[in-house]
Amino acid sequence: MSDNTNKTANTAGLRGALSGPLEAVRTHWDRAPGWERWAVYVLLVIGALFLPYQGLAPAMSPESDWQTILFYPIGIYVLLALGLNVVIGYAGMLDLGYVAFWAIGAYTMATMAVKHGIGFWPLLPCGIVLAAVSGVILGAPTLRLRGDYLAIVTLGFGEIVRKVAENTDWLGGTRGVNNIPHPPSHEGVWFLGVDLFTYKIRDARPYYYLLVALIILVVIFSKRLEASRIGRSWTAIREDEDAAEIMGVPTFKFKLLSFATGAAIGGSAGVVFAAKTSYVAPANFPFLLSATILAAVVLGGAGNIPGVIVGAFLVAWLPERFRGLADYRDLAFGAILVAMMIFRPEGLIPSRQRKAEMAEGGGGMGHMGAEIDTSGSEAEVGSR
Amino acid sequence: MLLELKDVHVHYGKIEALKGVSLEVGEGEIVSLIGGNGAGKTTTLKTISGLRSCSAGSVFFEGADIGSMPGHRRVLAGIGQAPEGRGIFPGMSVHENLLMGAYARKDDHTKELAEAYELFPRLAERRTQAAGTMSGGEQQMLAIGRALLSKPKVLLLDEPSMGLAPMLVQQIFSIIEEINRRGTTILLVEQNAQQALRLAHRAYVLETGRIVRSAPASELLDDPQVRAAYLGGDVGGDPGAAAAASGPESVALSKPAKGGPAKGEPAKGEPAKGEAEPADDAEPDGADAPDGE
Ligand SMILES: Nc1ncnc2c1ncn2[C@@H]1O[C@H](COP(=O)(O)OP(=O)(O)O)[C@@H](O)[C@H]1O
Ligand SMILES: [Mg+2]
């Protein structure tokens, strides 16, 4: 018994140690004047632009090509995590089939470009819209479900999309689609030693910069949403859906919007991915990937953009960095995730609001609880 | 009538939680709905605010059938609610919570905001605090204050005294009275019947999904059966026993917290159509218990 209390105390101590300095930075940031924030944003973007620098490669990824893994998995994971964050982090809905929207974007690019010769740039908005529409189609009948039920339905959706791709000849079956054209090139625009708009097989960097541009757009978009009336509605839904409804929030409509927005972002990642790899197959879109992106969001701090980006970066990068450990790296990765959930369940860089939600016992995941009989617990409260 | 329920039936899957509830709330009244755990009080309020839909029967508000109106529209129509378990937004500050109450409104809400802070000075002190970190009583104040921001015509309160210290209950109830005095109609759901009946003008007694009694509150307050079943009354131990033992024409005030359907299979023992004398249900409970009266 005393051993147990000791452990709890230890955990709490460790948690405190972890969050102390971060908390100070956070407080400072909250009070920082506009110019300071902008300076930090600019520095971060510059940092992202210099990231493919070959000199970093030995340290960052001794075993694989740094510039390639910067595009995939790192960049793609970050974009996907930002998209999933809109669903999980903002509206508090557990989506276990998110990878399906990425697949829909990728297959839009693959089939339309290969079969109909449509270019990358017109297909980018097409893929986005198509993914969003599938989000609505999946969401409309299912978003009345809550918590675990929604998770199961979305999980099924992810698998169905993959199975459909596997079994449709028009989509290439299990072999997938080959020879997807790259985006059109405009040679001669040099930037940091990169021919910026030359999309060929060799150089991954132009694709990476394309992703960076998309990520910046998505971050701005997310931030604006977060601060808007829509964002407030999502927060209310996440924290207490019934209460939100009786405040006058059209909860169903906003859940659908969150789902479609997340899907659209996933779709954009899919189009870019297909255009870079020039090859997509159902095997690219396993359930495991949905789970990994979910892990990235939760690990980093659902609902908080810097957290989500850091989480996705780590989840994508660590396994590549420690490729040398071969199979043990999955074990190590699992151990890290478990440790995180014990010592810092709110994520590496959580949002303040989420922390307060967790303190209240909501789990910081919104009210994931499905329609359950609350009268049992009510009896407990009442008798106190 | 401002609010009227006519023969409302509500199901959770196969479980019928409300079996034909009819009640009326007139403008300016405080009407109380009392009943044991699992009687269907919360379900009744959820049906009024649109969180659950009726499988039969209808809900009228200001004369119009609002049965098919979604919950978020009913707020604008004038139905405000402080839900069971308070339902505050834990991650939002007190102030943000209050503003959520005015979410649906397009007009100016400064007057209601000031009024909420005036009624609950405690909230003004805690303006920027995250609502989830407040005490139960403060959260209850917030839930009521937030509901007021929608400028409701009728305010639905679901067990505002739940889990609060007696002192605080007093305080909350006197504020409820004040809110009513300022012109808001109130439908008050309570397990704490004593307090509710003191405050209310009229009351309904709900039991396993049926209204078994409707009377002026003062009358129920003096009623021995009600006292026994819901007021902890003069019976020390099992109040259900007393109710069951107290005569054949009893209105089956038989299922207080303990024996209520909440714990086990809800409403399982309830015959589907046959309509057995509800008092029979109580017999097994009460058979071997000492007489209370
Ligand atoms: N979400 C739910 N799912 C299934 N049954 C429920 C649910 N909520 C309530 N019930 C059942 O409906 C009945 C009425 O519950 P409720 O309205 O919460 O009662 P009260 O508020 O009077 O305690 C109970 O038998 C309860 O078990
Ligand atoms: Mg209740």
The pLDDT of residue A8 is 47
- Checking if the pLDDT of A368 tops 60, the result is no
The burial class, CB within 10 Å (0-12 / 13-18 / 19+), for A118 is middle
Determine if the pTM surpasses 0.90: no
d(Cα B109, Cα A208) in Å, to the nearest integer? 49
Strand B185-190 with B154-158, pairing: parallel
Residues from chain A that touch B195, judged by Cβ atoms under 8 A, are none
DSSP states of A148-166: HHHHHHHHHHHHHHHHHHH
Tokens representing B54 are: 């009726």
pLDDT value of residue A342: 86
Residue B99 — pLDDT band, cuts 50, 70, 90? very high
CA–CA distance, B222 with B241 (Å, rounded to integer): 19
* Cα A188 to middle of ligand 1, angstroms: 69
Output A46 or B243, whichever has higher pLDDT: A46
What pLDDT does residue B291 have? Answer: 41
State yes or no: pLDDT of A122 exceeds 70.
yes
* Band (B232; pLDDT cuts 50, 70, 90): low
pLDDT at A380: 29
- Helix (H) or strand (E) holding A19, with range, is helix A2-31
Q: What was the pLDDT predicted at A311?
A: 94
Strand (E) positions, chain B?
3-12, 15-25, 30-34, 56-61, 64-65, 79-82, 154-158, 185-190, 202-207, 210-216
Cα-based distances in Å from B281 to A375, B263, B269, B271, B277: 21, 16, 8, 10, 8
Q: How far apart are CA B88 and CA B96, in angstroms?
A: 10
* Cis amide leading into A73 (omega within 30): yes
Burial class (CB in 10 A: 0-12, 13-18, 19+), B70: middle
Residue nearest to atom 17 of ligand 1 (CA): B40
Which letter, b or e, does each residue of A38-68 get, where b requires 16 or more Cβ atoms within 10 Å of its Cβ?
Answer: eeeeeeeeeebbebbeeeebeebbeeeebbb
Ligand number with the minimum distance to the CA of B257: 1
What strand order describes the sheet that includes B15-25?
Answer: B15-25, B3-12, B56-61, B64-65
CB pairs under 8 A between A and B: 122
> Is A343 a residue whose pLDDT tops 70?
yes
Give the pLDDT confidence score for residue B186 in this predicted structure: 97
- Band (pLDDT 50/70/90 cuts) for residue A196 is confident
Ligand 1: centre distance to CA A374 (Å): 7
pLDDT given for residue A360 in this prediction: 65
Q: Does A3 score more than 80 pLDDT?
A: no
Class of residue A174 by CB neighbours under 10 A (exposed 0-12, middle 13-18, buried 19+): exposed
Full DSSP string of B166-208: HHHHHHHHHHHHHHHHTT-EEEEEES-HHHHHHH-SEEEEEET
Residue A380 CA to ligand 1 centre (angstroms): 15
Q: Which of B15, B187, B188 to mutate to test the pocket of ligand 1 (most atoms within 8 A of CB)?
A: B15
Alpha carbons B200 and B16: distance in angstroms, whole number: 28
Q: Please work out whether the CB of residue B34 comes within 6 Å of at least one atom of ligand 1.
A: no
Q: Is B37 on the interface with A (CB under 8 A)?
A: yes
Residues paired with residue B65 on neighbouring β-strands, in sequence order: B60
State yes or no: pLDDT of A362 exceeds 60: no
Residues of chain A positioned with their CB less than 8 A from the CB of B85: 374, 378, 381
Partner residue opposite A246 with nearest CB, options B83, B85, B266: B83
Q: Say yes or no: CB of residue B19 within 6 Å of ligand 1.
A: no
- Band of residue A147 on the pLDDT scale cut at 50, 70, 90: confident
DSSP secondary structure code for residue B10 in this structure? E
Per-residue pLDDT averaged across A27-31, rounded?
A: 85
Residue A170's CB: how many other CB atoms inside 10 A?
9
- The residue whose CA is least distant from atom 10 of ligand 1 is A373
Question: Six-digit token pair at A306?
Answer: 């810097």
Contact A362 B104 (CB under 8 A): no
Least confident piece of the model among A260-264, B48-52, B207-211, B286-290? B286-290
Inter-chain touch A375–B38, beta carbons under 8 Å: yes
Mean pLDDT value across residues A187-204: 85
Q: Which of B90, B262, B266 sits opposite A379 (nearest CB)?
A: B262
A 10 A CB-CB count for B58 gives 14
